[in-house]
Amino acid sequence: MPVRPFVFAILFGCALIAFGLVAGLFESLQDGIRNFSASLSSPFPLAAPHRREYDKLSRPRWLAVMGVVLILTSLLLYRS
């Protein structure tokens, strides 16, 4: 296995772990994208962004597990 796909799998696995362990990361990214696209399409300044309480949202821990599985699988493939 070449080094480039191995590094990509490690980085993608780390991103999955981050998405699985940080509460409300998906929702905050969606709010940021929505606010950015609204600021591009509107000539008027936007009101204060709607802030949700991200700490109370559930964490998709299965994404973190999938990230660890991806990292371990790519490590095993790289070693063989």
Per-residue pLDDT tens digits for 36-57: 877 787 776 565 555 566 666 6
Asked if the structure places residue 19 within a domain, the reply is yes
Residue range 13-41: average pLDDT? 82
Q: How many domains does the chain have?
A: 1
- Per the structure, the complete domain to which residue 33 belongs is given by 3-44+58-79
- With b meaning 16 or more CB within 10 Å and e meaning fewer, what string describes 19-37? bbeeebbeeeeebeeeeee
Residue 70 resides in a domain: yes
> Is residue 51 assigned to a domain?
no
DSSP assignment of 11-62: HHHHHHHHHHHSTTHHHHHHHHHHHHHHHHH-SSPPPPPPPP-GGGSPP-HH
Kindly report the pTM of this predicted structure. Answer: 0.70
